[in-house]
Amino acid sequence: MSKFQAPKGVSEYFPPNSDQFEFVRDKLINSAKLAGYSLIELPVFEDTEVFTRGVGESTDVVSKEMYTFEDRGGRSITLRPEGTAGVMRAVIEHNLDRGQLPVKLFYTGPFFRAERPQAGRYRQFYQVGIEAIGYNDPEIDVEVIAVADSAFKALGLKQYKLNITSLGDSSSRAAHRTELVKFISTLKLDDETIARSKLNPLRLFDDKRDEIKQAMAKAPLLLDFLNSESKSHFEEVKRLLTEIGIEYIINPRMVRGLDYYTGTTFEFDHALLGAQSGIGGGGRYDGLMNSLGGSDVSGIGFGLGVDRILMAALAENSLPVELNQIKLFIVPITEQGKNEGFKILSQLRAAGITCDMAYGDRGLKGGMKAADKSRALYSLVIGDDEISNGKCDLKLMSNGQLISSSLTASELIKRVGNSI
């Protein structure tokens, strides 16, 4: 019988790498929590129209990359390819925008796109995202960017850069679209590209083909068409970023891969990740909620790729050496030792100390081998002598130093706990 394997193009994490994945993800989440964002837990599949209307039919995500199927009730269902549209559906459905504004939410979990698998690009990938819904303020734009930047700094990342631009308000985009459509009409394009440009001409700035990049080299840029209000908003965003010490690069050709973006738009790239250098990005989406049937409320958010950020942290060697380290590993060598060890194990765990023990009848040699593999800080051998004497030796696994202790949970908690 052949062995089962994971589907092609998915990322899996198991010990010890899963500790690194968890550490990175939790740092991203903690940065959001520090800024007052609360968890929203969403389904991994939605009505397909949530994405076709929300993300945009002209995008590669909708036209080429979604996992869409018909359920037993004949409904078209799609595994979520991104997070924002689902969040907005939930905000509308549960009237979250009727309370105090802004609504500040974060989410985390797996997302799905039918892409060609390669390093840093998966068919199932993990994100942490935030959404701030309710106000169109430059301060909120910068707060969202700063949440991501703070998370990267907390992970010790240094070799990343922030790209920003503005896609303007509706009148700015309309003025730019008129000139961009005129320019595109002069180009020799294939039928599929022409069809995409008619849905959203900005998509041609995001085209990865060299011939399209060359053709669009002299295309009019949206930044040159910002009206006074959009220009003032973007200038304030830049001023606030400088004020709080976040460096940025203005990238006027950046449009992102989703149609709902308006106003402030941004991406973070990492220098050590090669072609798949993006580690996260986002922007403002002032018309999205209305397009999904809700009120005309503005919002801004981001999605950060946990997989790629982990790759960046490993490339920079910025992660702690020991993560989720076991503080004490108990090695029982008699039946009485096993009973006493299990009792102490339970008491230490109740005190918040991470500990484990050698299960089964491994003996001293097998038990110490297990202790070594566990990478525990201390080991403790418990046999009949230790129980009758009420004394034991804690072994510091890094150098073999023995530390005398009474064989009581309270004493062990004190000695092991002081090393945390």
User: What confidence score (pLDDT) does residue 334 get?
Assistant: 95
Q: Pick one of 3.30.930.10, 1.10.150.130, 2.40.50.100, 1.20.1050.10 as the CATH number of 17-169+227-316.
A: 3.30.930.10
Sorted by where each begins, the domain ranges of the chain are: 17-169+227-316, 328-417
User: What confidence score (pLDDT) does residue 322 get?
Assistant: 84
Smallest CA-to-CA distance from 127 within 37, 247, 9, 44 is with: 44
Assigned CATH class of 328-417? alpha beta
User: What confidence score (pLDDT) does residue 408 get?
Assistant: 93
User: What confidence score (pLDDT) does residue 177 get?
Assistant: 87
Mean pLDDT by 10 residues, the chain (420 residues): 88 92 98 98 96 82 90 96 95 94 97 87 95 96 98 98 94 90 88 82 82 87 94 98 98 78 94 92 91 91 97 96 91 95 96 94 93 95 96 95 94 82
User: What confidence score (pLDDT) does residue 164 get?
Assistant: 97
Long-range pairs for 66-69: beta carbons < 8 A, 24 or more residues apart: 66/113, 66/114, 67/112, 67/113, 67/114
Rounded distance between C-alpha atoms, residue 407 and residue 389, angstroms: 8
User: Residues 86, 60, 73, CA angle at the centre, nearest 5°?
Assistant: 50
Tell me, rounded to whole angstroms, the distance of Cα 86 from its chain centroid: 16
Residue listed under structure tokens 């060697």: 317
Q: Tell me: the pLDDT tens digits for 136-157?
A: 999 999 999 999 999 999 999 9
User: What confidence score (pLDDT) does residue 246 get?
Assistant: 98
**Which ranges in 57-158 belong to alpha helices (H)?**
60-64, 84-93, 138-154
**Any residues with CB less than 8 A from the CB of 58 and at least 6 apart, and which?**
196, 199, 200, 203, 259
